[in-house]
Amino acid sequence: MVNSILNPAMLTLIEKIVFVLAALTTLALVARAVQRIVRIIGRGHGKPDWKLIPKRLLEVGVKTVALTPTWRKRLLASLLHAMVVWAFMFYLLVNIGDVLEAFVPNFVFLGEGGLGNVYRLLADGLTVTGIAGMLALLARRFVLRTPALRIRESTLVHPKARQGIARDSLIVGLFIVLHLGGRLLAASFKLALHGADPWQPLASAAAGLWAGWSPAALVVGEHVGFWLAIGLIMAFFPYFLYSKHIHIFMAPLNFLLRPERPSPGQLEKLNFDDPSIEQFGAARLEDFAWHQIMDAYACIMCNRCQDACPAYTTGKVLSPAALEVNKRYFINEEGARLANGEASTKTLLEFAITEEAVLACTACGACTDICPVGNDPMRDIMDIRRSMVLMENKAPEPWQVAFRGMERSVNPWNVPPSERMKWAEGLNVPTVEQNAEPELLWWVGCAPSTDARAQKTAQAMVQILEAAGVSYAVLGNQEQCTGDSARRAGNEFLFNELANANVEMLNAVAPKRILTTCPHCLHTLANEYPQFGGHYEVVHHTEFIDELIKNGRLEVKAGPATQMALHDPCYLGRQNGVVVEPRNVLNAVDVDLVEMVKHGKQSFCCGAGGAQMWKEEEHGTSRVSSERIRQAQEVGAQTLAVGCPFCMVMLSDAAKAEAPNLLVRDVVEIIADGLFEKS
C-alpha cells in the first residue's frame, strides 16, 4: 500500500532523452561559466592557501548551515532569508531524489521506513516555508520598497546596477517560487492519484484541489510539475552563475580561503625591493588580490555594510556596498577580457568608487565586521588609496603636511623630537636609559606626547603606574610615530620607513611587554610590525588597569554617581577584540554604565581613523563625531568614556559644539582622578 502511494509516475523514454540532453547542455554551460570565473579571480595577485580548509571546515560548515553571520541585524529579514536558504539546501537532496524516482522504476528515495518518512516530512514543510519566505522577501523589495535595499543617488553606482539588482532579485525570486511550487504541484498530483500520505500533510491537503480529476489528467499534472521544478533548474543554472545569488557557493569559499591575519585590520606589506613590481596599490580591478576579486562574487548586495559605515550614515558619498556591486557589474561587463588576460578598460576610480568616497573612509572596519559573506571592502579602499598616493601623488594637502611631519619630526604634529618628553615635566618618568629592564615598556605615542588634551591621559597613566608600583620605562626622545596614519592614508612607503626604524630600535631594547594608551599604536605594534620582524606582547592601558585591579595591585573606590557611556575605539574593540576589560575597569568604580545603540565590536567610529584625524571630513549631512555624540545623548549619558587619544580629540570637539554638558574623559582619567587609593 505504501509503495503504491509513494512510487511516482515514470518519465517516458522521450522525456528521459530530453532530460539527458538538457542536463548535458546545462553542464557544458556551467563548466564554461565556472572556468571563466576561475580565470577572472586568478587575475588577482597571490594564491589561495588550500591548507586552511581542513581547520576551517567545521566552523564554515556551521556558518553556512546555521547562517550565523546574518542574525546580527535585520532579524525578520534574516528569518525569511533562512526559510528560503534552508529549503534551497535541502532541495539539493530533494532534486536528486526526484530525478532518481523519475528514472528508476519502482524506486522510493530513502525507502519506505522511518528515514524516508522524515525525509518526506521535511521536504513537504520546507517546500511551503521556502515559498512563503521568498514571497515575503519579494514583497519587501518590490511592494514595501525597504530603504535598506537602496543606495542613495549621490553615490557612484554602475549604470546597469540600479535596475539590474532589482531585476536579478525578481528573476531569482520567481525561479525559487516556481521551482518549489512545481515540486509541490507534482507531489500533490501524485498523492491525488495514489492517496494521501500522512508524512506529506501539506502536499496531501493540496491534493484535495484535484478531487474528481481523471487518472490520466493527474499523471499529466504530475509530469508538468516535475518539469516545472527540475526543468527550471537546468534552464536557470547557467544564468545563476552570472547573478548575485552565486554567493550561495562563493560565501563558504570566502570563509574557507580568506588569508589568515592576526587582526581583520592588518594590511599587506608592499614589496618595494622588487624592481619588477610596477604598480603599488590598486588602480584597476586586476591589481587587487585574488580574494578581493572573489568578494565581488560573494557579495549578496544586502547593504548591511552600508548601514554600518559611519561615512554613509553621515551622508557621505562612500558606500562599501556600492563598491562591491560596481566590481561585480564591471566583471559581468568585461569578464571576457579579464578571463583572457587582457587589461580592463577602466580604472577603479572610473567605475567602482570616486576619489571623494575613497578619501571619506575612516578605515574603521565596520563593513568587514558586519558582512555576512566575509567580504572586506575596507581593504579595497586602502589599496586604492595606496595607488592614489604612491602612484599618482593624489593626497589632500593636510595629509601631505602630516606626511612631512612624520618624515622630518617623526610625528604627524611636526613637533621636534627634543620636545617629546615635555608632557612629563615635573613627573618622575623613567626612560630606558634609567631603567634598562622594566616590567613594562610604555609606548606613550604621538598624541599624548604632543597634544595638550591627550597629555592629561598620559599624566593620569603615570599616577596609576606609580600607585600600583609598576616597574616601567619610556623610550623618551627615541620614540617616534608608529606610522598608522601613513599606512591608512595610503603612504605605505613612509610607513615602511617608520616601521623598519621602530622595529630595529625595539628589538635592541627587547621589551618584555609594551603598554600603549592608543589603540592605533596597539594595533600597529602587535599586528603589523611582525611583517617587519618585530614580535611583541602589547597591551592596551584599559587591559593593564583591569589586570592591576584584579591582581590587587591597584585599589579603587567608587566615584561620584554619574550616568556614563563607553565609546569603544574601532581599533580596540572591533580590530583587536578588547571590549570587556574597559567595562570591567569602569564597573570597578561603580559607575552607572549605559550602552549606546552601537557598542562593543559594533561600535560607531569617532571619525578620526583612516588618517581622517589630519584633514576635514568630506561633505555629508553631519560629522561622524557629531553622530556619535548624538548616540551618547540618546541614552542619557552625562560622561562619555573613551580609550583612545584620537577619539578624545574628535569627541571632545563634537561635544563642545553639540552637547556642552557632556563630559568626555579617558578611562584612565576616571580611575586616576581621585578614584583610587594607594595600596
Angle in degrees, CA 569, 571, 576, rounded to 5: 115
Model confidence at 10, pLDDT cuts 50, 70, 90, reads confident
pLDDT-derived band of residue 9, with 50, 70 and 90 as boundaries?
Answer: very low
Report d(CA 497, CA 338) in Å as an integer: 35
| pLDDT value at 398 more than 70 | yes
Grid look-up 584625524 returns: 613
Distance (Å, whole) CA 386 – CA 668: 35
CB 411 within 8 A of CB 403: no
- Which pLDDT value is given to residue 674? 64
Locus of grid cell 569559499: 253
Report which of 648, 674, 645, 649 is spatially closest to residue 444, judged by C-alpha positions.
645
CA separation for the pair 157, 321 (Å, rounded): 10
Asked if 604 and 628 count as a contact pair (C-beta separation under 8 A), the reply is: yes
Q: How confident is the model at residue 420 (pLDDT cuts 50, 70, 90)?
A: very high
Q: Which three cell numbers stand for residue 187?
A: 507531489
Is the predicted pLDDT of residue 533 greater than 90, yes or no? yes
Q: So what's the pLDDT on residue 8? A: 47
Q: Residue 95: how many CB atoms within 10 A of its CB? A: 15
Name the pLDDT band for 562 (thresholds 50, 70, 90): confident
SS3 279: coil
Comparing CA positions, the residue from 151, 157, 611, 647 lying closest to residue 359 is: 611
Query: What distance in Å separates the CA atoms of residue 456 and residue 463, rounded to the nearest whole number?
Result: 11
DSSP 506-571: HHHH--S-EEES-HHHHHIIIIIGGGGT----EEEHHHHHHHHHHTTSSEE------EEEE---TT
pLDDT confidence tier of residue 675, bands split at 50, 70 and 90: low
Q: Which residues contact 274 (CB under 8 A, 6 or more apart)?
A: none
What confidence category does residue 676 fall into, taking pLDDT thresholds of 50, 70 and 90? low
- 190 class by beta-carbon count within 10 Å (0-12 exposed, 13-18 middle, 19+ buried): buried
State pLDDT tens for residues 609-649. 999 999 999 999 999 999 999 999 999 999 999 999 999 99
Segments making up each domain of the chain, as ranges: 2-41+73-240, 43-68+248-259+283-394, 409-548, 556-677
Asked if residue 544 has pLDDT above 90, the reply is yes
**Is it true that 43-68+248-259+283-394 and 556-677 share their CATH fold?**
no
> What confidence tens digit (pLDDT) does each residue in 448-497 have?
898 889 999 999 999 999 999 999 999 999 999 999 999 999 999 999 99
Tell me the Ramachandran region of residue 53: left when phi exceeds 0, alpha when psi lies from -120 to 50, beta otherwise: alpha
**pLDDT reading at 3 higher than 70:** no
Which of 3.40.50, 1.10.10, 2.40.360, 3.30.450 is the CATH number of 409-548?
3.40.50
Instruction: Enumerate helices (H) and strands (E) in the chain, giving the number of each.
Output: 29, 10
Q: What distance in Å separates the CA atoms of residue 249 and residue 237, rounded to the nearest whole number?
A: 13
pLDDT > 70 in the chain, percent: 98
Q: Confirm if 649 and 609 have CB atoms less than 8 A apart.
A: no
Query: What per-residue confidence (pLDDT) applies to 1?
Result: 33
Which of the pair, 62 or 112, is modelled with greater confidence?
A: 62
C-alpha cell of 33? 561559466
C-alpha cell of 104?
A: 528508476
The answer to whether the CB of 490 falls within 8 A of the CB of 388 is yes
Domain 556-677 is in which class?
alpha beta
* Cell numbers at 228, concatenated: 516545472
In angstroms, rounded to a whole number, what is the distance separating the alpha carbons of residues 451 and 429?
A: 18
630 versus 559: which is more confidently predicted?
Answer: 630
| pLDDT reported for residue 559 | 75
In the structure, what pLDDT confidence band is assigned to residue 344 with cuts at 50, 70 and 90? very high
Spatial separation of the C-alpha atoms in residues 529 and 525, rounded to whole Å: 5
Distances (CA, A) of 113 to 119, 210, 349, 403, 578: 10, 28, 61, 74, 53
Q: What is the largest CA-CA distance in the chain?
A: 101
Judge contact between 360 and 367, C-beta under 8 A: no
**Residue 391 contacts residue 276 (beta carbons within 8 Å):** no
Please write the tens of the pLDDT for every residue from 163-220. 999 999 999 999 999 999 999 999 999 999 988 999 999 999 999 999 989 999 999 9
**pLDDT-based confidence at residue 4 (cuts at 50, 70, 90):** very low
> Average pLDDT over the chain, rounded to whole?
94
What are the residue ranges of helices labelled H in 197-309?
A: 201-207, 215-226, 232-240, 247-257, 290-298, 304-308
Q: Which of 243, 365, 373 is nearest to 298 (CA)?
A: 373
The answer as to CATH 3.30.2310 being correct for domain 43-68+248-259+283-394 is no
Q: Do 227 and 233 touch, CB atoms closer than 8 A?
A: no
Neighbour tally for 138: CB within 10 Å: 18
Over 80: is that where the pLDDT of 128 sits? yes
Rg (CA), the chain: 30
Q: Which residues pair with 676 in a beta bridge?
A: 556
- Three-state SS sequence of 587-620: HHCCCEEECCCCCHHHCCCCCCCCCHHHCCCCCC
What pLDDT is recorded for position 330?
97
